[in-house]
Amino acid sequence: MVKFLKNFFDTYFFKEEQYAALVLLLIALVLIYFVGSLITPFFVALLIAYLLNGAMAFFGTRGASKRTALSLAFIIFTAFYVSIFLLLPLITSQIGSLINELPAIANYVEKLAQNLLKAYPELFSQSQVDGLVGSITSFFPSIAEQILIQMNAGFSAMMNALIYIILIPFFVFFFLKDKTEMIEYATYFLPKNSQLLSTLWSDLNVQLFGYIRGKALEMIIVGFITSIVFALIGVNYSILLGIMVGLSVLVPLFGAIIVTIPVVAIGLFQYGLESTFFIFLASYLIIQTLDGNFLFPLLLGREVNLHPVLIILAILIFGGIWGFWGLLLAVPIATFIRAILRVWPKKELTS
């Protein structure tokens, strides 16, 4: 055992910068674990600033000065930020209406499933219908429970939200404005001329941050198009469903499967098996197909090189450990781990 550990450290920890990288990683994990909830606005603003930095670079390549590029990027952020709050009353209203209708939707889908079993016994078995009904009747109450918990969180939650609303734009502006100075200050404490950290940052900038940027764009585009299409068809809760479908792209493979349950159930409850329901269903399937076959490869084709099996394993492992957040962060974490393994120096030991 002692010999194994000695060989391991001789192979993977033979440079000072490797120990420095390990210490930085451990410090980051400790900070996230103990004070992660307190510095959430900081990390959210940092992520938004990184995404907007791409917009600043775009305007810069078109001849805009740094101040002009900063102003244009912050205007884009402000417009998006304000539009979210303008939509909040409508979203809140749709959430309230949906909560009131959840029992009726679940009962309707259950009756429809039983009728299909009677009409087509050769196509459906009782166990299949029971499984479908069970998943739906457990799915909708769990959604309602989580929504009610968040809505009734009380005064402290409202104050936290208010602090986030104020701090995030403040942080975003200064991250964009003083990016160079902040990077210089942060790198001052890092080992000088560290090839490992430099290579790791370059790899993460392409892989991990490229994935985050692509996913953010995919989420906005899919959510916006879904809301517009559903509104044109006349679907109830079109804005809310668009947001749900947009957010579902953050969980590869499983997200689309999970969000399909409420989408189809709400469509069935509103239209039954009339022709409008099939138009609605076809529109939804077309959006999912275009996203999976065109939009996703266009935005993330070069960034995501993880094998589907590895993606599924990452979702199962991290989802099992951290629940919802594990599902959401499974691919970024897997990409981060792969980047470390790929650039980490390894010394060949001679026998």
Residue 282 clears pLDDT 90, i.e. is over it: yes
259-282 average pLDDT score:
90
Q: What is the pLDDT of residue 8?
A: 58
Residue predicted with more confidence, 220 or 253: 220
What pLDDT sits at residue 57? 84
Mean pLDDT of 37-56: 83
Can you tell me the mean pLDDT for 320-344?
Answer: 78
* pLDDT level of residue 14 (50, 70, 90 thresholds): low
**Per-residue pLDDT at 255 exceeds 90:** no
Look over the chain and give the mean of its residue pLDDT values, rounded to a whole number: 79
**Token pair for residue 7?**
């060989």
DSSP letters for 77-89: HHHHHHHHHHHHH
Q: For residue 272, give both structure tokens.
A: 């039954």
Q: Identify the band that residue 91 occupies on the pLDDT scale cut at 50, 70 and 90.
A: confident
Least confident piece of the model among 39-43, 107-111, 153-157, 317-321: 153-157
Give me the pLDDT at residue 124, please. 67
As a whole number of angstroms, the distance between CA 192 and CA 189 comes to 9
Please name which of 290, 288, 271 lies closest in space to residue 279, comparing C-alpha atoms: 271
- The CA distance from 237 to 349, in Å, is 63
pLDDT of amino acid 141 = 58
Q: How confident is the model at residue 54 (pLDDT cuts 50, 70, 90)?
A: confident
Name the residue type at position 327. L
* The token pair that represents 90 in the structure block: 């409508």
Q: Are 135 and 261 in contact (CB under 8 A)?
A: yes
Average pLDDT over residues 258-283: 90
Among 129-138, 151-160, 323-332, the range scoring the smallest mean pLDDT is 151-160
Report residue 242 as tokens: 């668009």
Residue found by looking up tokens 């979210």 in the block: 84
Of 240, 207, 245, the C-alpha closest to 223 is 245
* Distance between first and last Cα of the chain: 17
Question: How confident is the model over 209-237, as pLDDT tens digits?
Answer: 778 888 888 999 999 999 999 999 999 99
Q: What is the DSSP letter of 15?
A: S
Q: Spell out a b/e string for 293-302, using b for 16 or more CB atoms within 10 Å of the CB, else e.
A: eebbeebbee
Where does the pLDDT of residue 205 fall: very low under 50, low under 70, confident under 90, or very high at 90 and above?
Answer: confident
Q: What are phi and psi of 189, to 5 degrees?
A: -90, 0
Task: List, for residues 95-146, the tens digit of each pLDDT value.
Answer: 888 888 877 887 887 787 777 777 777 666 667 666 666 666 666 656 555 5
* Phi, psi dihedrals of residue 250, rounded to the nearest 5°: -70, -20
Query: 89 is written with which tokens?
Result: 């009353």
* Residue 252 burial (C-beta neighbours within 10 Å; 0-12, 13-18, 19+): buried
d(CA 99, CA 204): 41
Calculate helix-pair angle for 254-271, 238-248, nearest 10 degrees. Answer: 160
Query: 40 pLDDT exceeds 60?
Result: yes
More confident residue, 117 or 4: 117
What digits encode the pLDDT tens for the residues 170-199? Answer: 888 888 888 878 877 777 766 666 677 777
HEC string of 170-220 equals HHHHHHHHCHHHHHHHHHCCCCCCCHHHHHHHHHHHHCHHHHHHHHHHHHH
If you average pLDDT over residues 279-302, what whole number do you get? 86
